[in-house]
Amino acid sequence: MKFLDQARVFIRSGDGGGGSVSFRREKYIEFGGPDGGDGGKGGDVWVECVDGLNTLIDYRYRQHFKAKTGTHGMGKNRTGAAGADVTLQVPVGTQVLDEDNETLIADLTEVGQRVLLLGGGNGGFGNTRFKSSTNRAPRNANPGEEGQERSIWLRLKLIADAGLVGLPNAGKSTLLAAVSAAKPKIADYPFTTLNPGLGVVKLDTSSFVLADIPGLIEGAHEGAGIGDRFLGHIERCAVVLHLVDATQEDPASAYTTIRGELEAYGNGLESKNELVALTKADALQDDELAEKAAALEKLMGAPPLIISGVSGQGVREAMGALWAVIEAHRAREAKEDEGEAASAGWRP
């Protein structure tokens, strides 16, 4: 299945049905009076978060969604049927943005969340509504209210507990394949990963979701390489694992490059919890590896993790360190939720 994480969609709610002009006409009933019914309400446009989806590819092939028009009113005071609603089904983690692609309308993070995007037009009044003591036979009715229309953007941000960042060929996909059942594409050329990937890491008594995104290069925030748009998929993560290739000449420079791109992207990524790991440890001698780790430690102020996705060296320890940060983050969020519930309290 192709991966698509952003789509522009045009939506329109249904027009309301028009009111009816009708008079009661039955044998033996004189001056039956008006009996025109109201028009039905136009259909609404909803967006709903559903299970079983992990991409917005459906909106690549269909971009226009229009709710149905309400049925017109009829004689005998019959109100027209409401127009059918239209529902946009999206995966967990989808944001709905206005046409400017910046203003947030809704953020759908749980299955079952449902948000009204556009309300349908009200149905028009039939002539029964206009009768009075001075207007016994009104011959006017209201047309239905017009529906609303707008263009919106759907943007998917994957729900993951931890994310992998680094330069191309830093070993991100190799690590994801080593710690989970995911099968990302692995090759010896840059930008092997073109779409984000998810894997479930299982430890002894716990598990968490790890996200792998395409590699960043210097200037990605200006469009170099494949850009930095995929960084949106790790905005929701509790911690970022920054992988630095130990086989390159200057790992410290690689670390600085990625940090610069994270700061240029913003949205809180620059201040997110971060663990740094030197990868491909199996390809270096111990003394050379120690020298590069020392240079990175001098820059960071803390020793980096040493791992190898091929041999498994340090991988379990790195996953344990990630889980410690994730567990603390979940506990903090649970405590904040309890505090909000307590502060709300009971009100008459």
pLDDT per residue as tens digits for the range 112-137: 999 999 999 999 999 999 999 999 99
Residue that wins the pLDDT comparison between 280 and 124: 124
What would the pLDDT profile of 198-242 be if each residue is shown by its tens digit? 888 898 888 888 988 888 888 887 777 777 888 888 888 889 999
The mean per-residue pLDDT over the stretch 188-203 comes to 81
Identity of residue 335: K
pLDDT at 62: 92
Q: Average pLDDT, whole number, for the chain?
A: 88
| Residue 38 pLDDT | 96
d(CA 68, CA 42): 6
Q: What is the pLDDT of residues 21-41, one digit of tens each?
A: 999 988 888 888 899 999 999
Instruction: Please tell me the distance from the alpha carbon of residue 67 to that of residue 120, in angstroms, as a whole number.
Output: 8
User: Can you give the pLDDT at residue 214?
Assistant: 84
Sequence-separated (6 or more) residues with CB below 8 Å from residue 340? none
> What pTM does this model have?
0.79
Among candidate residues 52, 63, 73, the one with its CA nearest the CA of residue 7:
63
The average pLDDT across 245-272 equals 86
Give me the residue spans of the domains in the chain. 1-156, 162-338
* Helical segments of the chain, H only: 58-61, 172-179, 251-265, 286-300, 315-344
Bridge partners, residue 45, by sequence: 86, 118
Spatial distance between the Cα atoms of 312 and 280, rounded to a whole number of angstroms: 10
Domain 162-338, architecture per CATH: 3-Layer(aba) Sandwich (3.40)
Length of the chain: 348
Burial bucket for residue 347 (CB in 10 Å: 0-12, 13-18, 19+): exposed
Report d(CA 330, CA 324) in Å as an integer.
Answer: 10
Contact between 244 and 304 under an 8 Å Cβ cutoff? The reply is yes
CATH topology classification for 1-156:
Spo0b-associated Gtp-binding Protein; Chain: A, (2.70.210)
**pLDDT number for residue 283:** 82
For residue range 135-181, list pLDDT tens digits in order: 999 999 999 999 999 999 999 988 888 989 888 888 888 898 888 88
